[in-house]
Amino acid sequence: MSLQAARQPASGSKHRGYLARLTVISTLGGLLFGYDTGVISGALLYMQDSLNMSPVEEATVVSALLFPGAAVGALSGGRLADTLGRRGTLLVCALLFLVGALGCAIAPNVGFMVVARVVLGLGVGAAAVTCPLYLAEMAPAHLRGRMVTINELMIVTGQMLAFAINALLDTLIHDTNVWRIMLGVASVPAIALLIGMLALPESPRWFAIRDRFADSRRILDFSRSPEEADFEYEEIVASAKTAREERSHAWRDLKNNPWMRKLLWIGIGLAVVQQATGINTVNYYAPSILERSGLGVSASLVATIAVGVTSVLMTVVGIWLLGFIGRRRMLMIGFSGVVASQALLAVVFMLPQSDAVSYTILAAMMLFVAFVQCFIGTCVWLLLSEIFPMAIRGFAMGIAVFALWTVNAAISFLFPILVVSLGSTGTFAVFVLVNIASLAFVAKFVPETKGQSLEELEVHFRTGALPIIVPRPAAGETVEPARQ
């Protein structure tokens, strides 16, 4: 059987339906990730008075979910994903989401709220590691890009729902404690994730590295044609045997394998540059930014919905573009657009305050969000799920996502301080310089992964020189991978 024939998509509606159900259920973790990070932007406007919060307490409540919450959750989530399995870890995440959401809703004081936000963060961090891994390992190679990036779509959908629910509750409920309902709503998808994951199987690659090859083959049959399952099973068995030989201790593996260290540093770099865009300054502070520009509280909450809608629509566009454009090119376009849109924001903030300027700021924010979500958000999580070898996949993903959440927390905490110190123009000018550096990093270090199975990518990376993989040619054509 030829490689091309083995790579033909599974044709049965049963296979497609199974993959669709698996994707929707597992990405409820992404939905909760998005909702829990986005809802705080509107809830803060009411919590400040209800809990009598100081500016430092406000920053602590926002950042507690990120650090130590999500950062520690990412580190432990990577280990749990390797130990308990991808499915088992997502079940743990569901419980953390449920306990954290209910804790936030009933918080009597700032201290209790911070603890509940840390619990939520543990779930967010672990889910951010595990869900892309699970989808990448469950997906056929030709669907991996689309399936993994559905998680990003669910993240931004969760953020949009948070913005919309905040605005709706602000309109319907005239009570200073409305923030409790805003935060408590997250318990509903948490319960759905918990129930849904009980019906899904473990990753075939996790089974394989534990010598449970019969289980691995059985899981592949759920979503592949027999020919496709046979071919992929052979790849997985060969890769698992190599991984077991190397799989002693993750730190020892990294010490003994320079190519693994290089991939880990690239993964950490990708995580850092994604957050260095400053995207979460918009997600967490958009209503506050617009309120300071002259809009009222309710108008700011409603206007923020436009940011959420932009995120969702442009993520859909990004998922579609991934079928035609390589990961590297997507990132290059994205960071170029981010630099331009942030330069525009820096200029607009210099204009005299007025409603027209407020809506111009909103438009510039939407442009910025469009470039991040379409070209960067869709690619970074996908690349992180693809580049690490089987022997250290969960561990390395955990380290990279730990870096992501640490940078996220630092930027989210420092953003209000920078605005006070440098002004909005100065702050966004700093982001412009940072993102120029990010563009240079992508151009120099990030490999192309489109069109290759996880096992094929590992073989390429093992050579010691990171290849820029050319997408698989049509039948009869031959294209050699170009080396960096």
Please write the tens of the pLDDT for every residue from 106-149: 999 999 999 999 999 999 999 988 999 999 999 887 888 888 88
The per-residue pLDDT for 89 is: 95
The CATH architecture to which 12-200+247-462 belongs is Up-down Bundle (1.20)
The per-residue pLDDT for 468 is: 47
- Single out the residue of 458, 481, 459 nearest to residue 396, CA to CA: 458
Please write the tens of the pLDDT for every residue from 405-439: 888 878 877 887 787 788 878 988 999 999 999 99
**186 in Cβ contact with 30 (< 8 Å):** no
**Measured between alpha carbons, how far is 289 from 365 in angstroms, rounded to an integer?**
10
Share of the chain above pLDDT 90, in %: 35
The per-residue pLDDT for 480 is: 40
Q: What is the DSSP string of 33-60?
A: HHHHHHTHHHHHHHHHHHTT--HHHHHH
467 SS3 class: strand
**Measured between alpha carbons, how far is 33 from 44 in angstroms, rounded to an integer?**
18
Type of residue at 360: T
pTM: 0.77
Residue ranges of the chain whose pLDDT lies below 70: 1-13, 244-250, 283-285, 287-288, 291-298, 464-484
